[in-house]
Amino acid sequence: MIKIDNLPQFGLYVHFPWCIKKCPYCDFNSHNVSHDGIPEQEYIQALTKDLEGSIDLIYGRKVSSIFLGGGTPSLFSGNGIGKIISEIRKLTNLSPYAEITIEANPGAVDMARFETYATNGVNRVSIGIQSFNEDHLNSLGRVHSKNDSFEAIKLAKRFFKKVNLDIIYGLPNQTIQQLEYDIDLAIATEVTHLSFYNLTIEPNTKFYISTPSNLPDNDMCYEMQELIINKLINNGYQRYEVSAFAKNNDYCLHNLNYWNYGDYLGIGAGSHSKLSFRDKIIRQVRNKHPNNYLKSVLLNKHIIEDKEIDFKDIPFEFMMNLFRLINGFDVKLFRERTGINISSILEKLDKCVDEKFIEFKGTKIIPTKKGIDFLNELLLIFL
Ligand code: SF4
């Protein structure tokens, strides 16, 4: 039996499941826009109904952040996004200081749209740049060019205080020099948040069926990762999570809440939720395909999984998130978030220390460089 005395911070995730063209490496819940376009109004109504149906679960909780993710949310009109935010404001206790992020893709943004997003409360934008190299953009099946990226960054900086760029490394045929070019250009944009992800080949993607033969090997990817970390740190960015770097403390508050094992409600096709109560933590998953989601919301059958997290799985889930944080966490956070006494995992923590995956500093548990580099091996100890 768990006992949670104070509920954690709470964020709202809204999923937008359409993209102009599915990228061959992508395993997100994204679907090509059909010839008829996006059913924007119908989807907004479905999101509203979805949120209304979930209010009992989150009643009274302050919404500290909203993340409009996808897919490509920036395919939605400025007024459409405005309507969604205003429905959230009406139905929930949205903090006036909430961080509200929208994901955008170069090639699916324009000035009027960004301006209306900002007017409606969006204050952070995350742009899927992936690379500044045209050949690599082509090999990733991206629909935008390097110039589209620069244009999108220029507009984003004009309308939003916080801007993130997503960049992928370990690309087909990519050399260290080409990666260095991407890092240098990213730094030169002077945005305050950068995320660098290693390309991984996921099941259910085109790259899984037909994997590019010229991917950098593990040693080279490690060298690339070290280059990214060194260059960004030398240029004033702090690595605060495995893949996330921030300047001027401009952390992504929504993602930090995930990594701190905070709570979130996900609405929209395929979205996931994690919600804490005094004596349990639950997870929900919504119907994944946009058409099925739209139909099932009307019948109130859109939640396809709704279960209490098993007591024995909670410590693993906690560590899976917290060990992503470079500066670690305070020991007391384990009890606060999981409702479980830390004495139940002391043996496992000792094993992590023996393996040099973590170290104790005062009241903090901090992953070592080895722990961060071998995160999967570290987490196996908690399985
Ligand atoms: S744009 Fe992003 S979400 Fe859409 S298919 Fe490509 S990687 Fe996936």
Which is it for the CA torsion 377, 378, 381, 383, positive or negative? negative
* Cα distance from N-terminal residue to C-terminal residue, the chain: 19
CATH code of the domain covering residue 248: 3.20.20.70
Give yes or no for residue 73 CB within 6 A of ligand 1. no
* pLDDT band of 78, cuts 50, 70, 90: very high
CATH code of the domain covering residue 344: 1.10.10
Residues near 363 by beta carbon (within 8 Å), at least 6 away in sequence: 330, 331, 332
Task: Please check whether residues 316 and 230 belong to one and the same domain.
Answer: no
- Average pLDDT, stretch 19-29? 96
Taking only the tens place, the pLDDT of each residue in 326-352 is 999 999 999 999 999 999 999 999 999
Distance 238 CA to ligand 1 centre (A): 27
Any domain includes 108:
yes
Task: Please check whether residues 184 and 50 belong to one and the same domain.
Answer: yes
Task: Please check whether residues 243 and 369 belong to one and the same domain.
Answer: no
Taking only the tens place, the pLDDT of each residue in 159-213 is 999 999 999 999 999 999 999 999 999 999 999 999 999 999 999 999 999 999 9
Task: Please check whether residues 345 and 250 belong to one and the same domain.
Answer: no
Quote the CA–CA distance of 22 and 19 in Å, as a whole number.
6
Q: Domain range for residue 182?
A: 10-258
* Domain end (from 213, 232, 258): 258
Residues near 354 by beta carbon (within 8 Å), at least 6 away in sequence: none
Any domain includes 266:
no
Task: Please check whether residues 223 and 333 belong to one and the same domain.
Answer: no
Q: Is the pLDDT of residue 109 over 90?
A: no
Q: Which residue of 18, 20, 22 sits with most ligand 1 atoms within 8 Å of its CB, as the best mutation to test the pocket? A: 22
Q: What is the pTM of this model?
A: 0.97
Taking only the tens place, the pLDDT of each residue in 124-162 is 999 999 999 999 999 999 999 999 999 999 999 999 999
* pLDDT band of 1, cuts 50, 70, 90: confident
Q: Phi and psi of 274, rounded to 5°?
A: -140, 120
* Domain end (from 237, 258, 279): 258
Residue nearest to ligand 1 atom 3, measured at CA: 71
Q: Is the pLDDT of residue 280 over 90?
A: yes
Quote the CA–CA distance of 158 and 136 in Å, as a whole number.
27
Give yes or no for residue 8 CB within 6 A of ligand 1. no
Give yes or no for residue 130 CB within 6 A of ligand 1. no
* pLDDT band of 102, cuts 50, 70, 90: very high
Any domain includes 284:
no
Task: Please check whether residues 115 and 16 belong to one and the same domain.
Answer: yes
Q: What is the DSSP letter of 195?
A: E
* pLDDT band of 252, cuts 50, 70, 90: very high
Quote the CA–CA distance of 249 and 252 in Å, as a whole number.
9
- Residue 329: its pLDDT value, please? 97
Task: Please check whether residues 317 and 236 belong to one and the same domain.
Answer: no
Distance 19 CA to ligand 1 centre (A): 6
Which is it for the CA torsion 16, 17, 18, 19, positive or negative? positive
- Residue 103: its pLDDT value, please? 98
* pLDDT band of 108, cuts 50, 70, 90: confident
Task: Please check whether residues 253 and 323 belong to one and the same domain.
Answer: no
Find how far residue 246's CA is from the centre of its chain.
15
Task: Please check whether residues 252 and 344 belong to one and the same domain.
Answer: no
Any domain includes 277:
no
Mean pLDDT of the chain: 97
Any domain includes 276:
no
Distance 140 CA to ligand 1 centre (A): 10
Give yes or no for residue 75 CB within 6 A of ligand 1. no
* Domain end (from 258, 273, 295): 258
Give yes or no for residue 33 CB within 6 A of ligand 1. no
Distance 30 CA to ligand 1 centre (A): 7
Any domain includes 281:
no
Q: Is the pLDDT of residue 303 over 90?
A: yes
- Ligand 1 atom nearest to CA at 143: 1
Q: What's the structural domain count of the chain? A: 2
Task: Please check whether residues 86 and 161 belong to one and the same domain.
Answer: yes
Give yes or no for residue 174 CB within 6 A of ligand 1. no
Task: Please check whether residues 53 and 155 belong to one and the same domain.
Answer: yes
Quote the CA–CA distance of 89 and 116 in Å, as a whole number.
17
Task: Please check whether residues 168 and 236 belong to one and the same domain.
Answer: yes
Helix axes 176-188, 218-234, angle to 10 degrees: 30
Any domain includes 269:
no
The answer to whether 92 and 126 have CB atoms below 8 angstroms apart is no
Taking only the tens place, the pLDDT of each residue in 43-53 is 999 999 999 99
Give yes or no for residue 128 CB within 6 A of ligand 1. yes
Any domain includes 119:
yes
Give yes or no for residue 105 CB within 6 A of ligand 1. yes
Quote the CA–CA distance of 380 and 383 in Å, as a whole number.
5
- Residue 69: its pLDDT value, please? 98
pLDDT exceeding 70 applies to what percent of the chain?
Answer: 100
